[in-house]
Chain A
Amino acid sequence: MVVGAGMVGAACALHAAAAGLRTVLVDRGPVAGGTTGAGEGNLLVSDKEPGPELGLALLSARLWQGLTERHKLGATAEYEAKGGLVVASGEEGLRALLDFAAAQRRSGVEAVPVPADGLHELEPRLAEGLAGGVHYPQDAQVQPALAAARLVRAARDLGAEARFGTTVTAVLRTPDGAVRGVRTDRGDIHAPAVVNAAGTWGGEVAALAGVRLPVLPRRGFVLVTEPLPARTVRHKVYAADYVADVASDSADLQTSAVVEATAAGPVLIGASRERVGFDRTFSLPVVRRLAAQALALFPVLRDVATLRAYTGFRPYLPDHLPAIGPDPRAPGLHHACGHEGAGIGLAPATGHLIAQCLTGVRPDLDLTPFRPDRFTAEEATP
């Protein structure tokens, strides 16, 4: 059984059902009621440095293509392989970006340097005077809530059962400590394996099973503009500073504009990062900074109205890697959470690897870096 019907839980349920397992998916709210419904739908390889997370992203990028063909996500979930464009404003930033891209290329990422005079061919409305950039054709976009709903439906078509409005209140254990299901406010569900896909709330589910998993929220705002003509913004466009912000350990506010159009017309402007707990209070200073950074990339947005802003909480772990795989401290418990701002993109690989763990198949990727018990007692005490 899978706890959490966000993008990652939906992918876990689909892959488990496809592997022939009897699968139950529960969520205390609806599909995509947490972080999935509050994101932009980034399927990025461009922001990942060589390492375990990039391996996960590349596997996911391949799986996304298969999912899109099988479940027609282009038509039903606005999947678009639009590619990413990372730009640098100055020479120093450009050198760092090109070095980063060269390392990524050695790990299998398509990363094409774009000289300053080639930027407008890819992105005609981009500001003048930028130093250059890198084009990432493997980056893609999806409407995350629709995508999660499509995958839940596909899992149901394969026989999985989904129960919404059902809150897990306890994890059931045998006398020798093995997990044997969950207690919910609507009765017990018995299962020899429980997958914790509770995202930002994954630490709470782990605690119900008596183990520590230090998942914490990192708040982000997204601005939504009025609908604009198609192809005003063609790629996922962001400033090179974004990568440093993602990797930052600072609790302070970081903002770096990530700009992309949606199928319905509005342009989305992310991405701020703050560690302020689960505080949902709207912050004008934060969205003002986002808007200013978006204008620096796309001056054409100056007179465009914003319709609204929304906020959500990325689930992060101290080393910025997710927890994926079985928890040796509670046999039968598996984790699939803590993907920070990358859960939509990394969901298919996560679901695939979890299904391999559940069926006793050797996982396609080494899960050692994602071990849920990798944190020291200090790290695990937020």
Chain B
Amino acid sequence: MSRRSPLRLARAAPGPGFTFSFDGRDIPAHPGQSVAAALWSAGVLSWRTTRVDGAPRGVFCGIGVCFDCLVTVNGRPGQRACVTAAHPGDVVTPQAGTGELP
């Protein structure tokens, strides 16, 4: 891990870390961290495929506008990974196309 992590740069003192599950794998996260940030930190860059061509998608805008980073959280599809906070024990699964209706 680089010593120039954002946590260090901001002199952040986050609470105890936790994990959530993504596609059957444990992903470490800090309190308040977005699902997308935690996935990126764990080296996961894509978690959705497009509806027509099945092309991979992850974070595009990163600020909740583009709806490209949709992911299913605890069975609820269509959640924007970039603005959805991770919680201990969350079950996050990749999403194909536009997912199912809520």
Contacts and interface: CB of A to CB of B under 8 A. Distances in A.
B101 A300 contact: yes
A226 B101 contact: no
Contacts of B100: 229
Contacts of A228: 98, 101
A332 B97 CA distance: 53
A235 to B, nearest CB: 17
A232 B77 CA distance: 15
Contact of A265 (B80, B98, B102): B98
A307 B98 contact: no
B99 A229 contact: yes
A304 interface: yes
Given A305-B80, A307-B67, 19 more contacts: A226-B67, A226-B70, A226-B78, A226-B98, A227-B97, A227-B98, A228-B101, A229-B97, A229-B98, A229-B99, A229-B100, A230-B51, A265-B98, A300-B101, A302-B102, A304-B78, A304-B101, A305-B67, A305-B78
B101 A232 contact: yes
A307 B68 CA distance: 11
Interface in A224-258: 226-230, 232
A92 interface: no
Interface of B: 51, 65, 67, 70, 78, 80, 97-102
Nearest to B98: A227
Counting chain A CB atoms within 10 Å of each CB, the highest count among B51, B97, B98 belongs to B98
Contacts of B98: 226-229, 265
Interface in A257-296: 265
Interface in A201-243: 226-230, 232
A303 interface: yes
A280 B87 CA distance: 40
A267 to B, nearest CB: 11
B49 to A, nearest CB: 13
Interface of B is mostly: loop
A265 B78 CA distance: 12
Contacts of B70: 226
A304 B102 contact: yes
A76 to B, nearest CB: 15
Nearest to A305: B78
A265 B101 contact: no
Nearest to B78: A226
9 contacts: A226-B70, A226-B98, A229-B99, A229-B100, A230-B51, A304-B78, A304-B101, A305-B67, A305-B78
Nearest to A263: B52
Interface string A285-323: 000000000000000101111010000000000000000
A232 B97 CA distance: 14
B64 to A, nearest CB: 10
Nearest to B102: A303
A307 B98 CA distance: 14
Counting chain B CB atoms within 10 Å of each CB, the highest count among A226, A232, A300, A307 belongs to A226
Contacts of A265: 51, 98
A304 to B, nearest CB: 7
A227 B67 contact: yes
- For the complex of A and B, the 7 pairs showing the least CB-CB separation, nearest first, are A303-B102, A227-B98, A265-B98, A226-B67, A229-B98, A226-B78, A300-B101
A303 B102 CA distance: 6
A154 B34 CA distance: 48
A263 to B, nearest CB: 9
A229 B101 contact: yes
Contacts of B78: 226, 304-305
Contacts of A303: 102
A300 B51 CA distance: 20
A262 B102 CA distance: 19
Counting chain B CB atoms within 10 Å of each CB, the highest count among A302, A305, A307 belongs to A305
A10 to B, nearest CB: 27
A261 B69 CA distance: 21
Contact of A227 (B51, B65, B80, B102): B51
B55 to A, nearest CB: 14
A363 B54 CA distance: 50
B75 to A, nearest CB: 12
A311 to B, nearest CB: 18
A227 B49 CA distance: 13
Contacts of A230: 51
A322 B67 CA distance: 39
